């Protein structure tokens, strides 16, 4: 069975500071990995995805994530955050099994303060 652990439920940072949101997964097979962002009162939007190839993946709004197979991690980073990045971020994994299931982590609330 696949599972996703987002290590921090809340991450407060100051504007223009760097940020890392941590995600670890468990799966017995190869995975596809995703980060989604949810702004207040909205649905989820795809930030970036890892399917194969380069382990460093770039997404929208200046975010990037690095896939580390040995540590089963897919941490999300941004070198300088803005107030507008305040949102909840979800890591998700699809292990490609026959149940066609996308498993989400519990989310990390990023709060950017002025």
96 binds another protein (CB under 8 A): yes
Q: Of 41, 53, 70, 114, which one interacts with another protein (CB under 8 A)? A: 41
95: Cβ contacts below 8 Å, ≥ 6 apart: 2, 27, 28, 29, 30, 31, 32, 101, 103
60 binds another protein (CB under 8 A): no
**Cα dist. 31→22, 67, 75, 114 in Å?**
17, 10, 15, 37
Q: Which is nearer to another protein, 14 or 58 (CB)?
A: 58
Report the half-sphere exposure of 106 (CA within 13 A, side-chain side). 6
Q: Which is nearer to another protein, 66 or 94 (CB)?
A: 94
58 binds another protein (CB under 8 A): no
Q: Which residues bind another protein (CB under 8 A)?
A: 9, 32, 34, 36, 41-46, 49, 51, 90, 94, 96, 99-102, 104-107
């Amino acid at each position: 069975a696949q599972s996703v652990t987002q290590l921090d439920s809340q991450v407060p940072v100051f504007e223009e500071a760097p940020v890392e949101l941590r995600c670890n997964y468990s799966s017995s097979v190869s995975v596809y990995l995703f980060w989604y962002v949810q702004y207040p009162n909205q649905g989820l939007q795809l930030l970036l995805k890892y399917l194969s190839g380069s382990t460093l993946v770039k997404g929208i709004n200046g975010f990037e994530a690095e896939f580390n197979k040995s540590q089963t991690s897919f941490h999300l980073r941004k070198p300088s955050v803005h107030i507008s990045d305040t949102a909840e971020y979800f890591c998700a994994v699809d292990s490609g099994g026959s149940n066609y299931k996308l498993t989400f982590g519990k989310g990390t609330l990023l709060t950017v303060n002025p």
